């Protein structure tokens, strides 16, 4: 059995603002968190209002408290 390493696509510097989300004003770490949630189809766990607003604009659900 052989395995082949496949590198995931890397965003260019111009795309780090999550253009598919329509978001440009978030810090890089929030942008990365939002983009990963969007890519993997997972909800966000956050109380940050800017990130919540961006998630709503990007149609990414938010994990709610139980």
Q: Which pLDDT value is given to residue 43?
A: 93
Q: Which pLDDT value is given to residue 44?
A: 92
For residue 7, the number of C-alpha atoms closer than 13 Å in the C-beta half-sphere is 3
How many angstroms separate the Cα of 34 from the Cα of each of 1, 3, 5, 10, 22?
37, 31, 26, 16, 11
Q: Which pLDDT value is given to residue 8?
A: 65
Q: Which pLDDT value is given to residue 18?
A: 54
Q: How far is it, in rounded angstroms, from Cα 53 to Cα 9?
A: 27
Domain ranges for the chain, please list them. Answer: 17-57
Q: How far is it, in rounded angstroms, from Cα 23 to Cα 55?
A: 9
User: Mean pLDDT of residues grouped by 10 in the chain (66 residues)?
Assistant: 71 51 72 89 91 89 79
């Amino acid at each position: 059995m052989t395995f082949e390493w496949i590198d995931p696509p890397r965003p260019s510097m111009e795309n780090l603002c999550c253009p598919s989300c329509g978001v440009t004003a978030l810090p890089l770490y929030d942008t990365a968190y939002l983009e990963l949630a969007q890519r993997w189809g997972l909800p966000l766990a956050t109380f940050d209002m800017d990130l919540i607003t961006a998630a709503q604009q990007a149609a990414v659900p938010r994990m709610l408290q139980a």
